[in-house]
Structure 1
Amino acid sequence: MKILLIHCHYRLPGGEDAVFAAERTLLEEHGHTVLTYERSNGEAARGPAGLLLPLRAVWNRRAAREVAALIRQEGVDAVHIHNTLLALSPTVVRAAKGCGVPVVQTLHNFRLFCPNGVLLRDGAVCEDCPARGLQCALRHRCYRGSLAQTAVVAAAYALHRRLGTWRGVTLLAPTEFDRAKLLEFNRLRPLFDPERLAVKPNPVRLPRQAALPWAARRDQVVFAGRLEELKGLRTVLEAWALLGPDAPELLVAGTGPLEAWARQHAGPRVRILGQLPPEELARHMAESRAVAAASLCYESFALVPAEAHALGTPVLASDLGNVGASVRPGVDGLRFAPGDAAALAAAVRQLAGMTFDCAAIAAEARRRYSEEENYRALMRAYAKDQA
């Protein structure tokens, strides 16, 4: 097949860019010809052209024209869209549909129903926009704390909802939790065909080495991710303070706005490692009894738990959204109430008396997130759209 991938990069690199790049490589390795149409919000905002960015975020006529021309001139067989905000706009979806080719879009977040994309406001889960309408986002300035920028995003999605832009498009959610939420919201405000919403997990780095047995693991727990409020770092450090000197060693890997606070409040059983190379982080996770995932929001895809499970490492997960849904208590980890340091401390104590089948945890994760399964899921999506 000849496949066109469409993606708008945010100003700062993120997980969506990594998925876009990984799936491009995967398709090429399976013999497909891959074309790309890419734009960057950083570049689009510079110079005089930046004045037009708000208008183009709603309706980018030039991008639509260029996408349609590329599809026709190159004889594209299928189009796979990742992000369209802000520099592309959903008009590229309409342009691809107008060419009569199968169109697939990965929903990396909840942007169809929530302008900030993550169903979060003031540090807590918020579902006002799906339930009551996009005007809720305007009232709270949910996109970057700006009324003007929130208005642009809300206008773009309000217009394309009315136009039925996502009708006839196969949509991919990264998890079953996301799919269930999207279907719930779509029943309230229909904007896509529910039978066209499928699940395809994001690519996950899979290790080559065998999982270390439970008995051979160190008495330590890893917290990995951006050091910020939403990842639950405060909850984790407070839990270790409650555990006292008998706590397993806690390794904190990452950087972010709470790094200085973490270094100041780290107890004697806590080591702040900073940002680690992926290989070094994987080694620590593979040697540990557990990985702590204490997120306070739904998360778009629980990547750290997925990588931990691929190493055979159980996860101590906040019972919320994709993080909580990624864990089967007693099988590949334990859950605790989000934001509850005492509950996390209790889970750590419970963990000390348990045994896990690390090889089985790794085998299941590696099957679920294998490149071949990822590729088959893409092919099923393209075939679904052709049907």
Structure 2
Amino acid sequence: MSLPAVVVAHNRYRLEGGEERCVALQLAALQEAGIPWELLERRSSALSRAQAARLLLAGGGESSLADLLAKLRQRAADRRVVLHAHNLLPAFGPRLLEAAHANGVPTVLQLHNLRLSCAIGVAWRDRRPCSSCRGRFTLPAVVHRCRRSRLESAVYAAALARHFERTLGAVDRFVVPSAYARQRVQQIGVPPARTLVVSHYLPDGACARASGAGHGRYALVAARLSPEKGIERAIRACAAVGVPLVVAGEGPDRPRLQRLAESLAANCKFVGWVGERELRALRAEAACALFPSEFPEFAPYSALEALAAGVPAVATDVGALPEILGRDACVPLHDEDAFASRLEALWVDPDRRAAEGEAALARARTEYGKERYLASLMSLYGELLA
């Protein structure tokens, strides 16, 4: 069978981030592999809150999928088509998936979070993971005002409850970026038999030629400065063992974190948000990368980028961090002494840093290469089109 053609669909978030990057990398991989594709895209930023609410409750709006399929089939007449969707809300919803089936197109839904049943997607409340909402049971989102506004929380809760089973019924295969994510989406009712792990990939040129961690000058945190990232833990650990810390990122927690660093007399430099080139330069001179997260992420790109830079990690054992970085790099979430001890062990031993950095590079190349990613996607598409 010839290679398929692919419609990639994504509703961009008002605050864009990792999902938008994942979509861009998928399109780049398809392009380089010579696989015809079309992008069906909507932007939440183009919708008013009232428009978004109406679309949510309706299960999405009318899409131009039929026209797009005709265009793609004209370009690739001998190829069958797969719909690979990412975020569906609010503009697409289950209507897009059902439209694909009506046109004889199998569907893949890639889950980057728990938005199928969680009004805020991240299932995080009161600084701890939350599992109150599952499947069609979404009332806790209203009780706890998860979207701050009681009315907006009610709209999301009602829409998710109304369309949960409808969405599941219109998806042929679910894709998640880690084994942790697969286990987590199973807990909210996503069928494990229809769920496949396809790890993110690192684009060509992302991996350093060699690790420079043995000559590193500081520990590095690169993250949004918000409570769930646990950056307070990194500042306290660095202050306790005398390690210089560079914090790259912006967010609402910055003033509090700066005051904490000053109160501890920590050697801590806040550099704000930096671009990709500047961040790569910071990693090239880092002795280690710190991931003190409290929030169990599905597969943070920052962890992959630390591997690609050949920087050893000190991380908490939450979410997919042990899966990506290796369990030896992770310590129990609530054991701040263990976090500081691993940091100190790396800081005082340049040879260990160099060895762990080279091992991280090898892991990046073997586990997160583009060829492996494409092979997984092609196997999935081939199965659906067989």
TM-score range, shorter chain: 0.7 to 0.9
Change in 2 beyond 3 A, CA 1:207/1:36: closer
5+ long unaligned stretches in structure 1? 187-191
Change in 2 beyond 3 A, CA 1:103/1:313: same
Instruction: Determine if contact 1:309/1:361 at 8 Å carries over to the other structure.
Output: yes
| Number of the residue aligned with 1:36 | 39
| Number of the residue aligned with 2:384 | 385
Instruction: Answer yes or no: is 1:338 the counterpart of 2:337.
Output: no
Instruction: Determine if contact 1:309/1:362 at 8 Å carries over to the other structure.
Output: yes
Change in 2 beyond 3 A, CA 1:8/1:167: closer
After superposition, give the CA deviation of every residue in 1:248-283 in whole Å (9 maximum; x if it has no partner).
211111111122333333334212122222122222
Measured after TM superposition, the shift of residue 207 of structure 1 is 2.7
After superposition, give the CA deviation of every residue in 1:34-58 in whole Å (9 maximum; x if it has no partner).
212111111121xxxx644312113
Instruction: Determine if contact 2:60/2:90 at 8 Å carries over to the other structure.
Output: no
| Number of the residue aligned with 1:198 | 196
Instruction: Answer yes or no: is 1:21 the counterpart of 2:21.
Output: no
Change in 2 beyond 3 A, CA 1:208/1:128: closer
| Number of the residue aligned with 2:142 | 138
Aligned AA for 1:88? F
Measured after TM superposition, the shift of residue 173 of structure 1 is 0.3
Instruction: Answer yes or no: is 1:363 the counterpart of 2:362.
Output: yes
Instruction: Determine if contact 1:59/1:90 at 8 Å carries over to the other structure.
Output: no
| Number of the residue aligned with 1:189 | none
Task: For residue 317 of structure 1, give the secondary structure of its aligned residue in structure 2.
Answer: strand
Measured after TM superposition, the shift of residue 126 of structure 1 is 0.9
| Number of the residue aligned with 1:302 | 300
Q: Which of residues 114, 121, 127 is equivalent to 1:117?
A: 121
Measured after TM superposition, the shift of residue 132 of structure 1 is 9.2
Work out the percentage of aligned pairs sharing the same amino acid.
28
Instruction: Answer yes or no: is 1:221 the counterpart of 2:224.
Output: no
Measured after TM superposition, the shift of residue 198 of structure 1 is 0.6
Aligned AA for 1:273? V
Show structure 1 runs of 4+ deviating over 6 A. none
Q: Which of residues 74, 97, 102 is equivalent to 2:101?
A: 97
C-alpha separation between the residues in 2 aligned to 1:373 and 1:176?
16
Instruction: Determine if contact 1:58/1:155 at 8 Å carries over to the other structure.
Output: yes
Change in 2 beyond 3 A, CA 1:329/1:193: closer
5+ long unaligned stretches in structure 2? 74-79
Q: Which of residues 254, 257, 261 is equivalent to 1:259?
A: 254
C-alpha separation between the residues in 2 aligned to 1:164 and 1:13?
23
Change in 2 beyond 3 A, CA 1:325/1:130: farther
C-alpha separation between the residues in 2 aligned to 1:277 and 1:379?
32
| Number of the residue aligned with 2:65 | 67
Change in 2 beyond 3 A, CA 1:380/1:352: same
| Number of the residue aligned with 2:55 | 56
Task: For residue 87 of structure 1, give the secondary structure of its aligned residue in structure 2.
Answer: coil
Instruction: Determine if contact 2:108/2:171 at 8 Å carries over to the other structure.
Output: no
C-alpha separation between the residues in 2 aligned to 1:97 and 1:157?
21
Structure 1 length normalisation: TM-score? Answer: 0.87
Aligned AA for 2:81? D
| Number of the residue aligned with 2:92 | 88
| Number of the residue aligned with 2:111 | 107
Task: For residue 3 of structure 1, give the secondary structure of its aligned residue in structure 2.
Answer: strand
Comparing 318-327 with 113-122, greater Cα deviation is found at: 318-327
Backbone CA RMSD of aligned residues:
2.4
Change in 2 beyond 3 A, CA 1:231/1:129: same
Instruction: Determine if contact 1:77/1:101 at 8 Å carries over to the other structure.
Output: yes
Task: For residue 4 of structure 1, give the secondary structure of its aligned residue in structure 2.
Answer: strand
| Number of the residue aligned with 2:76 | none
C-alpha separation between the residues in 1 aligned to 2:23 and 2:5?
16
C-alpha separation between the residues in 2 aligned to 1:208 and 1:120?
32
| Number of the residue aligned with 2:284 | 286
After superposition, give the CA deviation of every residue in 1:78-122 in whole Å (9 maximum; x if it has no partner).
111111111222221121122221211110111123221111012
C-alpha separation between the residues in 2 aligned to 1:5 and 1:108?
15
Instruction: Determine if contact 2:306/2:312 at 8 Å carries over to the other structure.
Output: yes
C-alpha separation between the residues in 2 aligned to 1:28 and 1:371?
12
Change in 2 beyond 3 A, CA 1:292/1:91: same
Instruction: Determine if contact 2:60/2:89 at 8 Å carries over to the other structure.
Output: no
Q: Which of residues 257, 275, 293 is equivalent to 1:277?
A: 275
Q: Which of residues 310, 314, 323 is equivalent to 1:312?
A: 310
Task: For residue 279 of structure 2, give the secondary structure of its aligned residue in structure 1.
Answer: helix
Aligned AA for 2:121? G
Aligned length: 369
C-alpha separation between the residues in 2 aligned to 1:132 and 1:43?
28
| Number of the residue aligned with 1:175 | 178
